[in-house]
Amino acid sequence: MVYGVNDMAYVVPPRDARTQSAGVVAGYAQTASRWPAQPAARRPHGISELTGPRAFSRLKTTSADLAGQGARRALGQLIDVRVSIVDEDGAPVSGALVEIWHCNAAGKYLHPNDANDAPADPNFYGAARLAADERGRIELRTIKPAAYPVPDTDGWWRPPHIHFSVWGRVWLSRLVTQMFFPGEPLNEHDHILNAVPDPAARAGCIARFVPQAGSALVYEHQLVVRGRNASPGLP
């Protein structure tokens, strides 16, 4: 794929299909509605696709603290998530807009379509929008999400995970993926994570635990937004 910026063009190496998710996961009906049913249609890229939209400035960032509303803290294990956004050369992508969402410590999303009978947490909102700093980094204080049963399936459970949507400098630059936690036994059985054929690419979806003193557990994670080593796109 060729991108043009300020009358300059460069070629982005194609992604290896084995490092990317199969998209539609057998036995999980909702994935079919989240993944294109037809191959992407190629069309000429104009200024609308290849410019850095000023509209992003109207998407206001939020607090980087999801662990509580006001003086009251959400239930669950307090964690700090430190994410770096880089390109295929390891260069930081400063200014990337990162949207984050996950369920609470009981496995409940703050969404009207979540039919899980787990309790909601009035002190947990569950979503944030952050801008990467000059080093391409964001940091989130939140609580560790729980595992939960997948609706309309034979009873398999999703492991704890956090969703990320990363917007780059142009409209076409977007990565939607998930971060998993190390040492979770459900990781080996998760249909979403294991829809990525390549073991190294799957391992790249799992955060790294960083032992540190303090009240919160610290996890570090890297998101590669393009090229052959790009993080898998997960629905």
Is the residue at 181 inside a domain?
yes
C-alpha dihedral sign at 220, 225, 231, 232: positive
Is the residue at 4 inside a domain?
no
Q: What is the pTM of this model?
A: 0.84
Specify whether the CB–CB gap between 108 and 141 falls below 8 A.
Answer: no
How many domains does the chain divide into?
Answer: 1
The Cα 153–Cα 14 span in angstroms is 34
Is the residue at 194 inside a domain?
yes
The Cα 56–Cα 97 span in angstroms is 8
Specify whether the CB–CB gap between 215 and 141 falls below 8 A.
Answer: no
What digits encode the pLDDT tens for the residues 123-142? Answer: 998 999 999 999 999 999 99
Using alpha carbons, select from 121, 168, 166 the residue that is nearest to residue 145. Answer: 121
Catalytic residue numbers read: 109, 148, 158, 161, 163
Higher pLDDT, 138 or 228: 138
Is the residue at 202 inside a domain?
yes
Higher pLDDT, 60 or 209: 209
What CATH number is given to the structural domain containing 90? Answer: 2.60.130.10
